[in-house]
Amino acid sequence: MTMVKVTGGVFGALLVFLLGSWAADTLYTTGGGHVEGAEQAYAIEVEGDEASEEVVEEGPSFTEMMAAADVAKGAKVFGKCKACHKIEAGVNATGPSLFGVVDRAVGTADGFAFSGKLVAVASTWDAETLFEFLRKPKEFAPGTKMSFSGLKKEADRVNLIAYLATLSE
Side-chain-facing half-sphere of 128: CA atoms under 13 Å: 6
pLDDT of residue 141: 84
Tell me whether residue 53 is in a domain: no
Tell me whether residue 79 is in a domain: yes
Tell me whether residue 128 is in a domain: yes
pLDDT of residue 3: 93
What is the tally of structural domains in the chain?
1
Tell me whether residue 160 is in a domain: yes
pTM: 0.63
> Coil, strand, or helix at residue 73?
helix
Tell me whether residue 85 is in a domain: yes
pLDDT of residue 49: 52
Q: Which residue type occupies 127? A: A
d(CA 81, CA 129): 17
Q: Calculate the alpha carbon distances from 123 to 14, 20, 130, 133 in Å.
A: 53, 54, 11, 13
Tell me whether residue 43 is in a domain: no
Tell me whether residue 96 is in a domain: yes
> Which domain does 140 fall in, by range?
66-165
- CATH number for the domain spanning 114: value is 1.10.760.10
Tell me whether residue 33 is in a domain: no
Taking only the tens of pLDDT, the chain with its 169 residues reads: 899 999 999 999 999 999 998 888 888 776 555 455 555 556 667 776 555 555 556 777 878 888 888 889 988 988 888 888 888 888 888 888 888 888 888 888 888 887 777 788 888 888 888 888 888 888 888 888 888 888 888 888 899 889 888 887 5
pLDDT of residue 55: 59
